[in-house]
Amino acid sequence: MRRTLTLAGHVVNHDDSDDVVTEGRIADGAKAMPEAWMEVLGEDYFAANVSYATGD
């Protein structure tokens, strides 16, 4: 929690409920994520755009 507080400046609310309503909200969020990602970042959410070391 200390790292989150340092990075975010406040404690981040997290709902770890395990019920039908929460599962529905998670599913709805997952459906909305690609469009929101494109709007904010201008990138396709599903297209890998990651730099990595090849080990060469």
Contacts of 4 (CB under 8 A, 6+ apart): 11, 12
The pLDDT tens digits of the residues spanning 15-50 come to 778 899 888 988 999 999 999 999 999 999 998 777
CB 43 within 8 A of CB 50: no
User: How far, in Å, CA of 56 to CA of 54, rounded?
Assistant: 5
**Positive or negative: CA dihedral 22, 28, 34, 35:** negative
What's the confidence (pLDDT) of residue 9?
Answer: 92
What's the confidence (pLDDT) of residue 1?
Answer: 76
Tokens of 48: 């890998």
Confidence of residue 52 (pLDDT cuts 50, 70, 90): low
Confidence of residue 54 (pLDDT cuts 50, 70, 90): low
> What SS3 state is found at 22?
helix
What's the confidence (pLDDT) of residue 12?
Answer: 85
